[in-house]
């Protein structure tokens, strides 16, 4: 069973803390993505990566950074968490091949910033 695994399901952090969200996929996918999901706003792309050590900004990259040191792992970093970053964060991966657009999602990491 193919899997995208997000290490933390629920996190509570304080304003100003550094936050790491980890995502691992076992499908040997080239592409990996971080979205945030908010009621009424849908899914918004934060960053994506189409290869190791490569990254591209999505639609809302401000306040976030990412790291892709290994093909299977894509990390989202909040350098200094703020309350407006309270959200559900979804990691996804996809193959570069013909199945364009078929994203496989993790279960999500619900972050609360106090």
Partner 1 sequence: AQRVTQPEKLLSVFKGAPVELKCNYSYSGSPELFWYVQYSRQRLQLLLRHISRESIKGFTADLNKGETSFHLKKPFAQEEDSAMYYCASGGSNYKLTFGKGTLLTVNP
- Report yes or no: 97 and 48 within 8 Å, Cβ to Cβ: no
Can you tell me the distance from the alpha carbon of 104 to that of 13, in angstroms, rounded to the nearest whole number?
Answer: 27
Among 42, 62, 69, 84, binds partner 1 (CB under 8 A): 42
Contacts 24+ apart (CB under 8 A), 44-53: 46/76, 46/89, 47/76, 49/74, 50/96
Among 10, 62, 69, 100, binds partner 1 (CB under 8 A): 100
Report the residue number, 42 or 62, with the smaller CB distance to partner 1: 42
Report the residue number, 17 or 37, with the smaller CB distance to partner 1: 37
- Helix, strand counts (H, E) of the chain: 0, 11
Report the residue number, 35 or 85, with the smaller CB distance to partner 1: 35
Residues that bind partner 1 (CB under 8 A): 31, 33, 35, 40-45, 48, 50, 58-59, 90, 92, 94, 96, 100-103, 105-108
């Amino acid at each position: 069973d193919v899997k995208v695994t997000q290490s933390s399901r629920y996190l509570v952090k304080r304003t100003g803390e550094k936050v790491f969200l980890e995502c691992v996929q076992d499908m040997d996918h080239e592409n990996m993505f971080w979205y945030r999901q908010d009621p009424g706003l849908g899914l918004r792309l934060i960053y994506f990566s189409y290869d190791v050590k490569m990254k591209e900004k999505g639609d809302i990259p401000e306040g976030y950074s990412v790291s892709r040191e290994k093909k299977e792992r894509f990390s989202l970093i909040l350098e200094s968490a703020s309350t407006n970053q309270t959200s559900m964060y979804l990691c996804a991966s996809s193959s570069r091949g013909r199945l364009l657009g078929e994203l496989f999602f993790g279960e999500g990491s619900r972050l609360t910033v106090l």
